[in-house]
Structure 1
Amino acid sequence: MVSKSIICYLDGPANALAINRDSTQVVVAGRNVFKIFNIEEEEFVERLNLRVGKNLNLNFSCADVVWNPVEDNILATAATNGAVVTWNINKTSRSKQDMVFQDHKRSVNKVCFHTIEPHILLSGSQDGTMKCFDLRKKEASSTFYSLSESVRDVKFSPHHYFLFAAVQENGNVQIWDMRRTDRYEKQFTAHTGPVFTCDWHPEERRWLATGGRDKTIKIWDLSMKPMVEHCIQTIASVARIKWRPQQKFHIASCSLVIDFTINVWDIRRPFVPLAAFNEHKDVSTGFAWHHEPHIILSTSKDSTLYLHVFKDAIRPADHANPIGLDISCYGDISYAASNKIVRNGRSSFKGESYSSTKLPVFFRKHPSASDQFRSAVSSIFVFKNDGDKFLSMTWFIESARRYILSGRSFAELCEHNASVASDLQRPHVAQTWRILKLLYNAVPNLGAEHSWGVPSVGSISEMLKGIERDEAFDNSQEGSKSSRHNSGNTFKNRHQSGSKQSSRHVSGGTGNGVATTDRPDTSGATDNSTDSEESDNDKTITNIASGLGNTQGDFFFGDGETDQLMGFQCTLSQAPTIDSAQDWNLPGEAFQPRHPIKDCSPPPELDNAPSSPTSFDEDYIETKSMVGINGEVYDYTKLLMTPEVPSSPAWVFNDVIVDMLHYFAAQGDVQMCVSVLLVLGERFKGFVDETTQEQWFHSYIEILSCFQLWNVANKVISLSTISSISSLNQQSTTIHTLCGNCRRQMTRIGWFCDRCKIMPTQCSVCHQAVRGLYAWCQGCAHGGHLQHIQEWLQYHPWCPTGCGHLCEYT
C-alpha cells in the first residue's frame, strides 16, 4: 500500500499513460519516451524500455497507449503516422513490437481494447473513421464512418458487449453497434465545439461522460433520448476524463491548455472541485486511477510521472469564501452566508441537522473525510427590489427600447430621446439631449468645427424693441411727467449737471448716419428742462434700437461697468446674417406724450450751481480710458458713440462634449455614451479615439445581451461605424449540413451533395422540393417545410422518413 506521493523523471514529455489490470505496472508513451515502470512502495522502478531496435521510426511516436485489460503482456499504441501498433512484452527478442496496422490515412488519436475480448481493438483516427481490429486475423475486421472531420476518442461500453461510443470534432457523440457498420445507433450534439474525450460510468449503465473545448464536462443519460444529467464548468478545455472507482459521483479531469491541475469533481457540487493535484509544471497529458480509489497516476509535458495520494490533495472548498453577495440586473439582492459559528475554537452549526444523525450509531455510515466536502450549512436571503430608483434598471431597458438613434433629423432625434428621458424621470439626461440639439442644430452646416459667435444685428434689434416696449409700459404707469422724463435720462443728467464744457450727443433719427453737434453750455439746467432732454431721449432710443449707438442708460445690460466692453470690436459688416430688408426705423417716441412738446427758451444760466451729489466728474470721465485689442486707447465717451455691435469670442464646444461622454462613462452609463455617438454620427467623428469607443460599444452590447434585448443590440451593431463592432453580427453564422440520402457532410455547396448529385431539400412529409425556410433535425439530417415538420412533431416523436430517429423541434 503506497502511503505517500512519488515522482519519477522521464527522458522526455509524455503524451499518455496506461496502467495494467493489477495496478502494479504503468506504461508511459510519448514522442521520444516509451517505458514500463513497476509501482513500488517508495518509488517507480523502470522495468522495460520499448523504444529500442534498429529502426526507430514513427511507429514508436505514440499519441496514445492502452493496456489489455485481460492479458497483461499485450499493449497497443496509436502512432502519429496513422499506424496502430501492438506490443508483446513477453517476447524474448529485444524488440517487443508485435503487429502494425496501416489502415488509417491520417494520425490515430485513440485506441481502446474491448473490456472482455482481449483480441478486439478499436481505434479512432483524424481521417474521420473508426476501425475494429481482430488480433487473431491480423487485419481490420470492420470500418465505421463517422461523417466527421476526425474522431477524437473511442470507448467500449463495460455494460453492453457490442456497443461503443465515439466523440468527434464537430461536437457530436455517436453510439455504435459493432455488428452494424453502415449506421450508428444514436447521435446527438453534446458540445458547442470539438469533443476531446469520453468515458462510460463503471457502475451506472446509462451514464456517459464527455468533455470538450467548450470547457464543460457533461454526464448524459442514454436510457431514452440523450439528456444532460449533470454539467461541470471548468476553466479550460477538457482533454481527458476518468470516473473514479468505487465512487459513483466522482470524476477526474485534466485540461488541454492553461490549467496544469488534475481536478477531481463531485458531480453533485459541480462548481468547486472536490480535490486538486497541482504538482505538474506543465499541461497534464494523461492520468489513470489505481485499483484503490485513493491513488491516481499522472504524466505531463514537463517530463515527469507522478503517483498522487488522495490525502495530499488540495481542497479548494476549504478555502472558499463562506459568504456570497450578488445583485441581479433588475436590482434584486441575494445574500448567502454559512450558519457556522465559531466559539472558543469550536465550531457549531445553527439550523437543522442532517437526517443521518437521527439514525442509531450502528446504522450510520461514516465515509472517509477525504471523500467528502467540508460540511457546511448555509442560508440564503433574497431581497426584492420594490421600485428603488437607485437599484432598478427599468430606466435602462425602457431607454434601450424607446430611444431612436437613426432615421430622423438630428433635432427630432434629440427631442424624442429627451422626452423619453423625461418620462423615465432622468432630468439630467433629458437636459443633455436638449443641449446637444441646441449646440449642433444652431450651426448645421459648419461640419465638425462647430463654434458659437455673435447673434445677428436683427436679433439684437428685436430684443431691444421688446425692451423698449417694456420700458414704455413702465413709464406710462408713472403719475408725473417729470419722473417720466427723468427715467430715461439719468446718466445724461449726471454728466450735464455742474458742467461748463460742451457735451456731444448722438443724433440721426433715421438711423442711417452719425452726426455730432456742439451746443453751448447749458449750465444751470434743472429737472424742468423739457425740450432738449426730450430730444436727446428720442435720439438715444432710436440710435440704440438701430444698432448705431450704445449710450449707457436704461438700455445698457450689465452691472454698469463699461470695462466689460473692452476689446470687443465688431463692425456692422462683420456681424453675421444681417437682414438687409429689415426695417430699422423706429417711431420718434416710445409713447404718445400727454401734451405737445414746445420749444421753450433755455433756463437762466447757473454758473455757480453746485453739482448733483450723484453726478460724475467730467474731468474724470475724460481722463478715464481703456485699451482695445489692437493696443488702441479708447475714451468712455467715444465708446458711447461707437456704431459697433459687441461680439462674444468663438466657442469650440467639442471638448465639452468629450468631457460629457467621459463623465457618463465614469458613472457607468455607457448607454448614453453609445447613443450620443450614434446620433451625432459624422458631426463628432475623430474627437473620441476608436479604442475608447470600441470599449463603450462592447460594454453596451454585453449589457443588452444580459437583458435579452437582442434586437436592440443588433441595431447598435449595424449602426456602428467601427469595423470591429459592425462585424459582430457576421460571425458564427456557418451551418454544417448533411445529405439526407448518403449522410455525407456538404461542405463545398451547402444545398448540393457531390456524391449523390442531388439537392436533398425535399420535404420528408409532403416529398416536395422546399423553397424558402427549411427545417431539419441535427440528429438524422432529415427535414422539410417548417409548417409540415411542426405539425408532424406535434403528434409523432420519430422522424417522418421512418429512419427511427427521435427528432426534436426546438
Structure 2
Amino acid sequence: MSASSTPTFNNEYYIALECKDLQANAMAIDSSGNYVLLGGRRYLAIRNLEDEYEVVQKYPRQSKYDVGAAEWNPTQFHKELCVISSNQRLEVVTTRHDDLTQTHSLRAHTRVITDLNWHKADPNILASCSVDTFIHIWDLRDPKRPTLSLSAVAEASQVKWNRLSPHLLATAHEGDIKIWDQRKGTVPMQYIAAHLSKIHGLDWSPKSENYICSSSQDSTVKYFDITNSRKSEFVITTTAPVWRARHTPFGSGLVTAVVPQLRRGENSLQLWNTTNRATPVHTFIGHRDVILDFDWRKQYPNDLDFQLVTWSKDQTLLVWKIEPYIQKLCGHEPVEVEVGTEIVVDAIESRLPRKNSPKVQPLHQEFSLLNVHIPNLIVKKMDPVARNVAVKVAVNDFLVHLQVSFPNAYPFGVSPIFQVMPGSTINDSASHQLLQMLKHLAQQRVSKNRTCLEPCLRQMVTTLEQLSTSLDPNKVYDRSYLEPPNIFGGYNDAYIPFPKTSGAKFCSVGTLVCFSRPSFSRRVPTKSESLTRATTPRALSALENHFTKQASDYMTISTYYYQRHRSRAKNFSKQSRTVVHIYDALGLFFMNRQLAEEYILDGDLSTVCKHNGAAAAVVGRFDLVQAWTLAELVAGQSDDKEMAMASHPFGSKLMESLINHYATQYDIQMAAMLCCIFGKEMSRKSAQSLSEQSKKWKLKATSPYHTIPPADVVADGWVFPMMRTKRSTSLDNIRVEVPAVVRTTKPQSTLYEYYKMAYAETLHRWGLIYNRTEVLKYTYRIPDVHKGVEFVSECTFCERQVKQYGCVFCKRLALQCAVCGDSVRGLANSCAPCGHGGHRRCLQWWFRKKSVCPTGCGCRCMSETARLFDT
C-alpha cells in the first residue's frame, strides 16, 4: 500500500491493563520500555508490560489533587526516577526495592503546573512550566530552589527540551512558541507566532535540532525551522483540534490525538506521513473513550515491529504493533538483521507480539469488555474460539433466543450473522423485522470498523420492550416497527425535541410571524391511527412506534410527514415550498412606538402633561388624553412635583389610581410614564421596602450595569415574567399580572421602579436608546455595598471613627495635617500603621529628606506601609 492510499484498519493490539478504579489521567513509560506508570488522584500504578501474569502494583496517594503530568527519567543513570506534577508541586519518586517512595518535592510555582520534561542527556535536570507564566529548571542535586527561572507574559502550557541540542528548550504560550537557550540568560532567543488558537502540544524532531512541530486547537499541526521561523515549513490539517502530535521513531511519521475535552466520539489515533500530508496513512481504532496520553516503547535490536502504548479515559491500556508494512507507509524500510543462523525478514505475515505478550484479537477484547448486566438479557455462552455468542431476552410475553456468529474478518467491514433459535416465543413477522434491525445496525457500525455486539443487544432489548407494551405477540403484522438506530439514536434521543412544523411568534417590531406546512404535504393518519387523534411526536425516538407499509422501510422525518402520491411526484418539487406569513400586530398592543418617540419627561409639569396628551391624541388614544389632562390638573401651575401632589385635593391618591389602572390593563408604557413624573415622592415613602426587595436580585446580577432584575423577582406577591437576565427580541413577555390581593392590600409604590425598568427594557428592544436613558434617570438606584479593604480614621477632637473628611458628631474636620497643622479638606494621604497623615504636598515635602513620621511617634511611615502591603 502506498502512502497516499486509503487508511487501513487491520491493526492488532493487546490489552496490557484494564483497571476501572484507577481513574488515572497521566501515563509514562520508562527508558527500557518495560514499565508503565499511571497516575491519578487516588493511586500510582506500575505495570510490567513484558510479564503478562504480573499483578498491577498500586500505591495509594495521600493528596487531594490529581496528577497532571508524569515522565520517567530517559537516561540510564537515573532510569528508576519518575516525576509527577500535583497542582503546584513536583514529586520525584523512585521504584527501588519493589516499592515506590518519594525522593524529592520541588516547590516554586504559585499556580497549577501544566507540563514537565526531563533533560535528554543530563539525568539530574528537568524543566517545568505553569499557569503562573514561569518556566523553572531544576537540578536534583540542589532541589531547594530552581537553578534557573524563565519568565513569560502569558501562561506556559508546554515545555520540551531539544532532543539533540542539550541547551535548547521550547515553551508554548497560548498560540506562540518561545525558544530558550539556558546559557543566554532569561530572554528567549527565538519567538514564533505559530497559531491563532491555543497550542496543546510540542515535539522536537528526532533528526534535526532546528525543527519543531506544534499541535493546536485550530485543528492543525505545523512544522517550523527555528532558524527561519517567519513561516511554517508545512501544515497538517485535521478534522478536530489536536491534543498531541509526536514523531514516530521510524521514517517520517507523526501520530496525532484529538483534544480529550471534546468527547465527540473521536477515540482513535491517526498516523501521518509528513512527506505526503493529504490524508492519514493509518488509523488506530480500539478505545471506547478519548485517549489521554500515548508514547513509544523502546525497540529491541532484533525486532522489526515498533510498539505504541496508549492510555484512554475508558481506563484501558493498549499496546499497538506497528508492523513493517505500516512502517513502509511512513517511508521506513526495515533492515534485515542476522541473528545466529536465522534471518529476520520483512514479512507481513509475521504478526506475533513481543515475547510473553498474550495475542488477543479484537473479538477477544470485545467479549472481555461486554457488559453482561443488561436488563432482561442473559448471556448464555461466549466462545471466542468458535466465534459465537448465545443470549436470551425475556420481556413480558416475548422470549427470544439469539445466536450471533462472527466471521474471521469481523469487524473490518464484515457484520456478524444473527439467528433466532428454536424455543423463541415470537412470530415469524416480528422475528424477520428484528433480524432486519440487527443487521442494519451491525452494518452501520462495521462499515466504520467498529464492534457492534453490545449496541445490537441493547437495541434488541429496547425494541422488544416497546413492542411488548403495544402489540400482541401472537398476531402477524405486515408493517415494520423498527428504524435505523444510528439515525435517531434509539434510547439515546429521548430529550431531542421533534422538529416544529408550525408556529407563531411575536417579534420586537410589532409583527406576528407564522409558518406551517403546505396543506397537501400534511401527514395522513394510518388506519391504526385514524381512531385516535394523530399528533406530532414529542421526540425523535417516538418514530419507533410508527410503521410503514414495507417491512424493509424505516420511518424518517420526511417519510413521516410527506406521503407523496405517484401522480404528484413530478410537481412535488414545485409545490413543496413553505410560505411564511408576517402580520402587522401593532394594533393589538397598548404600548406604542410612536408614543415612545414623542413622549417627553423633562420640563415643568404642565408643559410635560400637555405635550404628552397632544401626542396621545395624534395616535388616537383619547383615553390617554383624558389621563394626561387629569395629570395636568394635578400638576397645576407649580413646578415642584411634591408641592403639586400635596396641594391638590386628590393628589397622590389620584395618581396611584391611574398608575394601578394602566398596570392592570397591561399598558406598562403609560404606567411607567406616570411613575417617572409623579412617582418620585411616592417611591420615597417605600425606599426601604424597595431596598430589601432589590437585594434579592442585586446579588445575582453578573454586571454592575445590569438594571433589569431576573425572572424570579417577586415583590410583594408580584411576579414579573418580563424581567429576564438575557435580553429577548420578542414581545411575548411584556404582560404583567397584578394579583388582586396586592391591588387591595399592599402599597403600589414598591412596584413603581419595576414599571420603569420594564418600560426601559421595551425601549431598548425598539432601539430607542436615548429614550431609555431618560427613563432610567428616574429610577431609584441602590448604592453598591463596598467590598474589600476599607480604611477609617478617628476624629482628632472627639476620637470617634469617621469615614469622611468631616466628623458627623462634633461637626469638625476630622483630619489635621501632621506637617502644617491645618485641617484637611481636599486630597490627603495617611499612614496605615500609625494613622497620621495630612496634605499630599506637605507629606511629599517632608518625606523627601526624612523618613520618620512628622508627629514624632517614631513610625517610619514609608517603609512600614510598604512592608504592610507586601505581606
Larger Rg: 1
Query: TM-score, with normalisation over the residues of structure 1?
Result: 0.37
Q: Which has the higher contact order (CA 8 A, sep 6+)?
A: 1
